Structure 1
Amino acid sequence: MQNDQRLQEGIAAHQSGDLEAAQDIYLEILNKNPEDPDGLHFLGLLHFDAGRAESAIELIQRSLEINESNTSALNNLGNILKLTGEPRLALATYVRAVEHDSRHKEAWKNINLLLRSSGDFDEILAIMSEIVRLEPENPDAWNTYGLAKMLTGKAEEAAEAFDKSLQFDLPTSPNAVWRARILAAQGRNDLAQKHLERIVEAKPEDKAARYHLAAVRGDKLDHAPEDYVASHFDSFSESFDEVLEKLGYRAPELVAEDVVRLAEQRATPFHDVVDLGCGTGLCGPLIRDHCTNLTGVDLSTGMMQKAAALNAYDFLVEGELVSFLSYELPTRFDLAVCVDTLCYIGNLQPFMKALAQALKPGGRLVASVEHLEDSHAQGFRVDSSGRYAHMPDYIRKCAENASLIYAQDRKEVLRRELGKDVHGLIFQVMLPEQS
């Protein structure tokens, strides 16, 4: 009892940032018993916090040799291995944790995050098959099994697994909406709608669930709700860049290529430039050298905090694009860029009209959108992911209705998602020079 009390005192000191006091207590425990697994585990965590990753791994591994079923130690060791550039070892360590405790939420979450970047799914599928056989009502196991099936191209089996995971999970589960979206993306709108209706019933305040339910039902939506977009991007602002990197996301570079070509035709940089929907600032640094003043605009506070850390922007403004462009702005812009932000706006007419007010004569917009090739569509369509795709002729019509010139476009692959290329357009519109 006394040993447990001292350990808790050490953990409390550790959590408060008093590493010296925590170390003294952990060493005191280990002096009494050098084989104390908890002492070794928490001393290892302290070493990692102090920047000594190698000794941290060694200490936690020693702890696990003594108590191999300590799932907290396994999960923490996996975290350290991931952060030190050993994702495959980390994945194997998380799997060991769920083999000992099939309901370990954090370990399942970490497995799913790492699984997306793993190329070897055979072992994972074998383990998941056994877990779902032994525990057929384990939602976490079905979720991971579905993810592994999806990443190996087995869409039908993946959909069945995601459906089971949602059947056995609470509708308030953190990634329930994501799983329903995946079902829709795999063509199972019936199942997606059933689960989204259940989620909305349990959590009527859930903006994402309400929006994606409307998208799956095919409701007519001119744009994604502002509160949904803001909360959606706030929720994963920390992991946004990492996620997009794994998707092979190219839109910022493709837009920047057009900006560089335009800049090469000028004697001086663009004086006033705005990055509409700047997010974490992926495009800003790529065009910074061609701008005198660069302003970033975004709905998400979390995203803009990341953008501010880049020191690429002269000004950052929190706000919605059309509202911002419609303000009495202190200046009009020589150039606007808009990277994949219009995929949350279906009806582009209000945007184009506001843009025309905000550009200087001769000013241009360079933007990316997802490309809609369905000849039966009415210019734009929201898909089950909640993103809009647009037809080039529709973009041209909206631009011309706002007295803008549709200058050019080109088709490109913007990223990979669910094993498929996502096709898009990089297009330009301009405000005519005054005569």
Structure 2
Amino acid sequence: MPHRFFLSSGDLIADRRYEFARDLQLKGDLAAAAEVMEQAIEVAPNFASAWFELGQIRIALGETDKAITAFQNACAADPDDRHGAGVRLMQLGAAPLSDMPKAYVRSLFDQYAPRFEAELIERLNYRAPAILFKAVLAVRVAEKKPAYFQRAIDLGCGTGLGAAAFAKNVDSFIGIDLSAGMIAQARETGLYAALEVDDMTAGLQRQPDLSADLVLAADAMVYVGDLAPVLAEAHRVLRPSGLVTFTVETHDGEGVIMGKGLRYAHGAEYVRGVIQSTGLQLKHLEPASPRTEEQLPVRGLAVVATRT
């Protein structure tokens, strides 16, 4: 999803140069755009948005080293990193893989919330909730248990598409999302008994032990690099034989990488290992594409694990 986040430099001349540079960038005159963006930075050296956009222009020009410098300066100018310059640095291999800046994820989804469902369903053929519902049904059939859940926790709940897919099979839903904009949209659905603005791990930490039968995260783990903390908390809150189910994007290599869509991709062996290490038992791990991007299905995995 395109992320256009702007922080004014506080200097009218610098801001105008930034806008002029953006116009040049959109018209495809990248060399001129870089030059004008640098002029904006000369006027306002701590102009985070200009540094970030300069990094984007440098990438488009194939000037990776200069892009890295620009993104590093964007991070320095805005320690909260609302633009996600640090995510670009991870993708370029210029920073170690770490958690995504919370302020970046929040600003990304607050900005996106009003058009989120239309964009996902119509343009990206989003199918993660349906994939997880089918996987959970298959696991329950194999276990000869009903696919009925008294209390479910929807992590990274967004506008409520995950809860909608499971609504007939769940008595009561709690939704957790970092974006207040998304939570406001989810509230409109009437699907949730409670909604909380928080990240997934922190939101789970406030839930009592053995208090849920189902924890789901439809297309939300792509914003989490290290899955161990959130899965350890899921294990704690699940009742015996409760399920955790989620999708990830994946790659052929080992471990976790920052994918070209600026979302984490988790290797299948990594997922197996982290589920085992958190005391959960893997029940289902199958290739499944959660969405389409640039007319191609995004490679992913559907996962179901249980607390034994």
TM-score (norm 1): 0.56
Q: Over the residues paired in the alignment, what is the CA RMSD in angstroms?
A: 3.3
- Tell me if the contact between 1:142 and 1:164 (Cα under 8 Å) persists in the aligned partners: yes
Match of 1:212 among 87, 99, 117: 87
The answer to whether 1:168 aligns with 2:36 is yes
Alignment correspondent of 2:185 = 306
Residue number in structure 1 paired with 2:131: 254
Whichever of the two has the greater Rg, that structure is 1
Partner of residue 15, structure 2: none
Matches for 1:386-401 after TM superposition, within 5 Å? 386-401=262-277
Counterparts in 2 of 1:182 and 1:317: CA distance versus 1, 3 Å:
farther
Matched residues in 1 for 2:51 and 2:184: separation? 27
CA deviation after TM superposition for structure 1 residue 266, in Å: 4.0
> Among residues 323, 331, 335, which one is paired with 2:214 in the alignment?
335
* Residue 236 of structure 2 corresponds to residue 357 of structure 1: yes
Q: 1:360 and 1:298, CA in 2 relative to 1: closer, same or farther beyond 3 A?
A: same
Unaligned runs of 5+ residues in structure 2 are: 5-18, 42-46
Note if contact 2:21-2:33 (Cα within 8 Å) is conserved in structure 1. yes
Q: How far, CA to CA, are the matches of 2:242 and 2:60 in structure 1? A: 38
TM-score by length of 2: 0.77
Q: Give aligned-pair identity as a percent.
A: 25
Compared CA separation, residues 195 and 416, structure 1 to 2 (3 A): farther
Counterpart-to-counterpart distance in 1, 2:128 and 2:62: 26
Aligned to 1:369: 248
Question: What does the per-residue CA deviation read over 1:111-152, in whole Å, with 9 as the maximum and x for residues that have no partner?
Answer: x9xxxxxxxxxxxxxxxxxxxxxxxx9644544345xxxxxx
Question: Partner residue of 2:8?
Answer: none
Where does the alignment leave 5 or more consecutive residues of structure 1 unmatched?
Answer: 1-108, 113-136, 147-160
Q: 1:167/1:252 Cα in 2 relative to 1: closer, same or farther (>3 Å)?
A: farther
Change (3 A) 1:198 1:300: same
Alpha-carbon separation, structure 1, partners of 2:190 and 2:237 = 24
Aligned to 1:155: none
Query: Counting strand residues as a fraction of each chain, which structure ranks higher?
Result: 2
Q: Extract structure 1 runs of 4+ deviating beyond 6 A.
A: 173-176, 185-188
CA–CA separation in structure 2 for the residues paired with 1:417 and 1:187: 23
Match among 269, 282, 285 for residue 161 of structure 2 = 282
Structure 1 residues 243 and 350: CA distance shift in structure 2, 3 A: same
Cα distance, 1:382 vs. partner? 2.1
**Which residue pairs with 1:409 in the alignment?**
285
8 Å Cα contact 2:250/2:265 also seen in 1: yes
The 5 Å alignment of 1:16-415 reads: 139-146=21-28, 165-169=33-37, 170=40, 177=52, 180=55, 189-190=64-65, 192-197=67-72, 199-200=74-75, 203=78, 206-215=81-90, 216-245=92-121, 246-262=123-139, 266-267=145-146, 269-329=148-208, 332-374=211-253, 377=254, 379-383=255-259, 385-415=261-291
User: Higher relative CO (CA 8 A, sep ≥ 6), structure 1 or 2?
Assistant: 2
